[in-house]
Chains A and B, each alone.
Chain A
Amino acid sequence: MPTNNPSRIAEILARHQQAILEDWLLAQLAAFSARHNLISEADLRRQSADFIGIFGTACQAGTLTDIATPAWQPVRDFLASISRSRASQGFSPSETATFVFSLKQPLFAHIRQELAANAESLADEMWTATVLIDKLGLYTTELFQTAREEVIKRQQMEMLELSTPVVKLWDGILAVPLIGTLDSARTQVVMESLLQSIVDTGSNIAIVDITGVPTVDTLIAQNLLKTAAAARLMGAQCIICGIRPQIAQTMVHLGVAFGEVVTRATLADALAFAFREIGCTVSRQAPRN
């Protein structure tokens, strides 16, 4: 078993570090030829040199068959940061894994050269190196996947927030134009940002425009009612507008009513109502002659 004798990989790595690094860089550059726009050669060289150093240290200190041991912590951390940065730079999973996998060939070449005279030990060391690099490659791929998912989640959250802008129409009057599907996650975001804006701006009127909402079912109606009730507790009045004819008809069949909440057909009507409520009059100037 290769694990019984101390592995010579660490020693080979230390002796040929520079040559292995150069060969590895060539292999990576060949694989990435089309990706020069994503990472510069200088960055790649620096990352690779750093990795070879950390990798060599871990090989010397730890067992080569278990990368979960503390000796491999620096290697795992390094791969984690590589995965994260590549996920956000737009690398594909296989391109990211190539960073580790492309180390195989140069490493093998030097092992072969060193151990050419001893077939049995050569086979053992090759096996150890294969298993080790495969483990590190898979570890990198897994981390990359997690990092990608985080990027997507963050983008989704950003979209949720983007799609629910609370705008100030006038002193004391806020409006939220809702567009798209009001699923539970989004409704929660809308509700929170509206209530927060009421506090921040000291507004007494919040207009919720649902012109852009394709379906109003019982859950959405209930969420809107809850938002209005919460606003009322904070001393603000909610006006719901933009209820299109087909939505109004559907709501009647469902049996949902907005109750005490003021509703208006259009945003303009809602704004006119809001102006009256805060004692503002809008008048057209007499034409000047």
Chain B
Amino acid sequence: MNPPRSETLPLRSDEDLVRVRQAVRAWMVEQNFNLVEQTKMVTAASELGRNALVYGGGGSARLESPVDGGHGGIRVTFEDHGPGIADIAQALSNGFSTGGGLGLGLGGAKRLVKDFEIFSEPGQGTRVIITIRK
């Protein structure tokens, strides 16, 4: 159906984050995901992108489709080379923030997009992958 494609966007500023949200929305619309699905994916992308920006000192977002040799779906990988997360369970828990935030972004993104993977090594950086299948 869709030819394989991918796009890597930088995450260095607020404007970059806006572009990542717009790209994710455009890809979702192209694959006819409904408004609720679009909004969930875009909001999760916004949370993860901002974390990479704020805590990871900047990074990138890579969009890919299709997913796992299927006919469609979108995978977004957020990557930064910042300090990493020592205690992932704690970071995912509601209300935990080291930056004066609500502490809901990371856990919220996981609730919004079930297919959620996180890898982090202190001192190495963080990678979060969210996937929506068609």
- Which residues of A does B touch, CB under 8 Å? 181, 183-185, 214-219, 221-222, 245-247, 249-250, 253-256
Contacts and interface: CB of A to CB of B under 8 A. Distances in A.
B26 to A, nearest CB: 12
Nearest to A183: B14
A215 B108 contact: no
Contact of A254 (B35, B50, B111): B111
B40 interface: yes
Size category of the B interface is 20 to 34
Given A254-B111, A256-B102, A246 B14 contact: no
B42 A249 contact: no
A246 B17 CA distance: 21
B39 A218 contact: no
B112 A253 contact: yes
B107 A218 contact: no
B108 A253 contact: yes
Nearest to A184: B14
Interface string B36-62: 101110110011001000000000000
Given A215-B42, A250-B40, A181 B18 contact: yes
B75 interface: no
B81 interface: no
Contact of A255 (B17, B43, B94): B94
A60 B35 CA distance: 72
Interface string B48-91: 00100000000000000000000000000000000000000000
Contacts of B14: 183-185
A190 to B, nearest CB: 15
Contact of B108 (A181, A184, A218): A218
Contacts of B94: 255
Contacts of A254: 43, 47, 104-105, 108, 111-112
Given A217-B50, A218-B101, A255-B111, 5 more contacts: A181-B21, A215-B39, A217-B47, A218-B102, A218-B104
Contacts, number: 67
Nearest to A254: B108
Given A183-B14, A222-B101, A249 B39 contact: yes
A247 B42 CA distance: 11
B39 A247 contact: yes
Q: Most chain-B Cβ atoms within 10 A of its Cβ — which of A246, A249, A253?
A: A253
A185 B14 CA distance: 9
Q: Most chain-B Cβ atoms within 10 A of its Cβ — which of A181, A183, A215, A221?
A: A215
Nearest to B34: A246
B17 to A, nearest CB: 8
Given A222-B102, A253-B108, A183 B36 contact: no
A255 B108 CA distance: 7
Q: Most chain-B Cβ atoms within 10 A of its Cβ — which of A185, A218, A245, A246?
A: A218
A246 to B, nearest CB: 4
A196 to B, nearest CB: 23
A214 to B, nearest CB: 8
A183 B13 CA distance: 11
A178 to B, nearest CB: 15
B80 to A, nearest CB: 17
Nearest to B36: A246
A253 B47 contact: no
Task: Please give me the 5 A-B residue pairs with the lowest Cβ-Cβ distance, nearest first.
Answer: A254-B108, A246-B39, A217-B46, A253-B111, A183-B14
B43 A217 contact: yes
A216 to B, nearest CB: 7
Nearest to A180: B18
A215 B43 contact: yes
Contacts of A216: 43
B47 A250 contact: no
A222 B101 CA distance: 8
B46 A215 contact: yes
